[in-house]
Chains A and B, each alone.
Chain A
């Protein structure tokens, strides 16, 4: 009983300490930022004023730029993420389960995988011009490799004893085995890959949009062009918020699927 109470006390203490120190951290950062702006640590006019950020947010919102930019970015994001995830999953899964396909693809994968997604921007522009499709294409490449590799190693690492079990109980065909053993057994690894892709897609998204496809990246670029650095910060915070939201949704879904784990 005493022990329990003590544990309760310490848990409470740990949470309280975290909240207090966490807020202090943010305040300290704001002070540092404000000083950098007031004392002009960088070239005059290039450092946004944190106190003007809320105003800039109202401006961007009011002028009808913020929401369409988020929407446009989300379109690139969802298409790029969806395509990259699905293709990465299937190529990874087939390569890990079909011997000839594994051999067939392995040199090709080693050759293409090190190429950073942004290097494909050149072709994205050549093939799709400056368009939604081009941005989605660039995003999907990074996501593809993340999911390909996560799926490939998760499937390769499935404990072969489960295949023996499936065979002993009449579930030995490729399709049945894939659905009843391979997929569930490798789901934690596959989902970890999907989640990495969810983050990775955001990173490439902004970079791809900096080239001029409508979206948050482009808005940031044009705001910076006219010296509106507070607006740039608004888009940076919007990126952070939307990412936190997607990650939260995904982690909820992941939790539902992986309920069986201890």
Chain B
């Protein structure tokens, strides 16, 4: 099966730090797959995501981002926990960020922006400043911005942990819809196991220092999924025992 990201025996430590965050980490993400990574706070989830995003460089091992040729696209689209919109850009221009420098015509750029704003239900908010948005809308702009570059994989670092429960549930539902519509793979970080079980095709559990994959669990529940199903609860409870 085609993969979009391959980590092989990856080792990383922060400069001027003795300890390894990961020492011998290997996993891959299949094309179109929704993979969640769970683990306690400080185990190294964000670091791994930054490695995959290319924001940090591993000292040992290899990390390959494969996938289709990237003309007019970027292979990875990153979504931040804090939303991280540029307050000096309106919604449309925030979404535009990753498209700048890709040599796309203005028409194509605008078309892409409209497309992703439509997909994330933000068409009416195009001209808003970030400070005029709710927390949930900010996260949706963050997702739209990542999707605009038509990535092979969306990298999401606890994107819903800062919003209220009701908003979180509707964002989760929307994410599944967006993921299915876009065809991109997702590498999703969360400390919420139920969230991981509800969303994912596969969940990996990280633990220890350096962090290791202590458990890997395919979630074969059919979609659309029932949020409060017995099966999901049991699964989540079982995964929790590995934490």
Please give the residue numbers on chain A whose beta carbons come within 8 Å of chain B beta carbons, in ascending order: 161-162, 164-171, 176, 180-181, 184-185, 187, 259-262
Near A by CB (< 8 A), chain B positions 211-239 give none
Q: Which 4 A-B pairs have the closest CB atoms?
A: A169-B98, A184-B88, A262-B131, A168-B78
Which residues on the A side are within 8 Å of B130 (C-beta)? Answer: 260
B202 interface residue (CB < 8 Å to A): no
26 pairs, CB–CB < 8 Å, chain A vs chain B: A161-B84, A162-B84, A162-B86, A164-B55, A165-B84, A165-B97, A166-B97, A167-B55, A168-B78, A169-B78, A169-B97, A169-B98, A169-B145, A170-B74, A171-B100, A176-B101, A180-B86, A180-B97, A180-B100, A181-B86, A259-B129, A260-B90, A260-B131, A261-B87, A261-B131, A262-B131
Near A by CB (< 8 A), chain B positions 65-108 give 74, 76, 78, 80, 82, 84, 86-90, 97-98, 100-102
- Choose from A170, A184, A259, A262 the contact partner of B86 (Cβ within 8 Å): A184
**Is the beta-carbon distance between A170 and B84 smaller than 8 angstroms?**
no
In whole angstroms, how far apart are the Cα atoms of A261 and B97 in the complex?
19
B186 interface residue (CB < 8 Å to A): no
**Is the beta-carbon distance between B100 and A260 smaller than 8 angstroms?**
no
Which residues on the A side are within 8 Å of B102 (C-beta)? Answer: 170
**Is the beta-carbon distance between A171 and B87 smaller than 8 angstroms?**
no
Which residues on the A side are within 8 Å of B87 (C-beta)? Answer: 260-261
Which residues on the B side are within 8 Å of A168 (C-beta)? Answer: 53-55, 76, 78
B109 interface residue (CB < 8 Å to A): no
- Choose from B78, B101, B129, B131 the contact partner of A171 (Cβ within 8 Å): B101
In whole angstroms, how far apart are the Cα atoms of A117 and B86 in the complex?
38
**Is the beta-carbon distance between B101 and A170 smaller than 8 angstroms?**
yes
| A-B contact number at CB 8 A | 54
Near A by CB (< 8 A), chain B positions 98-130 give 98, 100-102, 129-130
- Closest Cβ of chain B to A182, distance in Å, is 11
A interface footprint on B138-153 (CB within 8 Å = 1, 0 otherwise): 0000000100010000
- Choose from B80, B90, B98, B129 the contact partner of A170 (Cβ within 8 Å): B98
Q: A185 with B55: in contact, given A170-B98, A171-B101, A262-B131 (CB under 8 Å)?
A: no
In whole angstroms, how far apart are the Cα atoms of A165 and B146 in the complex?
11
**Is the beta-carbon distance between A187 and B100 smaller than 8 angstroms?**
no
- The dominant DSSP class at the B interface is loop
In whole angstroms, how far apart are the Cα atoms of A259 and B128 in the complex?
11
In whole angstroms, how far apart are the Cα atoms of A185 and B84 in the complex?
13
- Closest Cβ of chain A to B139, distance in Å, is 14
In whole angstroms, how far apart are the Cα atoms of A218 and B76 in the complex?
66
Which residues on the A side are within 8 Å of B149 (C-beta)? Answer: 169
Which residues on the B side are within 8 Å of A260 (C-beta)? Answer: 87-90, 129-131
- Closest Cβ of chain A to B148, distance in Å, is 9
**Is the beta-carbon distance between B82 and A171 smaller than 8 angstroms?**
no
In whole angstroms, how far apart are the Cα atoms of A176 and B101 in the complex?
10
In whole angstroms, how far apart are the Cα atoms of A176 and B100 in the complex?
10
Known: A161-B80, A168-B55. 10 other contacts (CB 8 A): A161-B82, A161-B84, A165-B84, A165-B97, A167-B55, A168-B78, A169-B78, A170-B74, A185-B88, A260-B131
Which residues on the A side are within 8 Å of B55 (C-beta)? Answer: 164, 167-168
**Is the beta-carbon distance between A171 and B84 smaller than 8 angstroms?**
no
Which residues on the A side are within 8 Å of B74 (C-beta)? Answer: 169-170
- Closest Cβ of chain A to B56, distance in Å, is 10
| Chain A residue at minimal CB-CB distance from B101 | A170
| Chain B residue at minimal CB-CB distance from A259 | B129
- Closest Cβ of chain A to B116, distance in Å, is 14
In whole angstroms, how far apart are the Cα atoms of A43 and B41 in the complex?
78
Interface centre among A169, A180, A185 (most CB of B within 10 A): A169
- Closest Cβ of chain A to B208, distance in Å, is 26
**Is the beta-carbon distance between A165 and B88 smaller than 8 angstroms?**
no
